[in-house]
Amino acid sequence: MVHASALHFEAAVTRPLSVVFRSGDRWEGHDYTVEVVTARQGLDGFDVVVDFRDLEAAMDRSLAPLQGRLLSELGLDGPLALAQRLLKELTPFVPAPARLKEVALTDGTGRRMAVQA
């Protein structure tokens, strides 16, 4: 039998996000599912990777000022910049020994783009 501490675990939290990008004189609205994936070796004392409530609260704080906004006004020029910003903002909210593995954006057609830590 393999002990849980020898196994690698991942856990993800998702939230919806609607944003607008401007490309030249063209505007693009996007509805995304933002997925934050955490990982760790073994589980904590409660048999979880991270406390979902804490991670969800951090995501909600990071996404709230972006919701429905024109992201170029916030210095973000596209989905890659958005995912990188979220990765940077959320990393401190994942306590060691867990780590933030990736932030992914999936649009309404199922196209997925991810940045990894």
Split into its structural domains, the chain has a count of: 1
Looking at residue 98, its amino acid is A
Mean of the pLDDT values across residues 52-71?
94
CATH code of the domain containing 28: 3.30.479.10
- pTM here is 0.88
Nearest-5° Cα angle at 114, 65 to 77: 50
What 8-state DSSP symbol labels residue 1? -
Question: Would you give the end-to-end CA distance of the chain in angstroms?
Answer: 31
Helix H or strand E encompassing 56: helix 52-63
What 8-state DSSP symbol labels residue 98? S
Range of the domain at 36: 4-116
Query: Residue 3 above 80 pLDDT?
Result: no
Kindly report, residue by residue over 64-112, the tens digit of the pLDDT: 999 999 988 889 988 999 999 999 999 999 999 999 999 999 998 999 9
Query: Residue 53 above 80 pLDDT?
Result: yes
Q: What pLDDT is attached to residue 33?
A: 97
Kindly report, residue by residue over 15-50, the tens digit of the pLDDT: 999 999 877 788 888 999 999 999 998 888 877 888
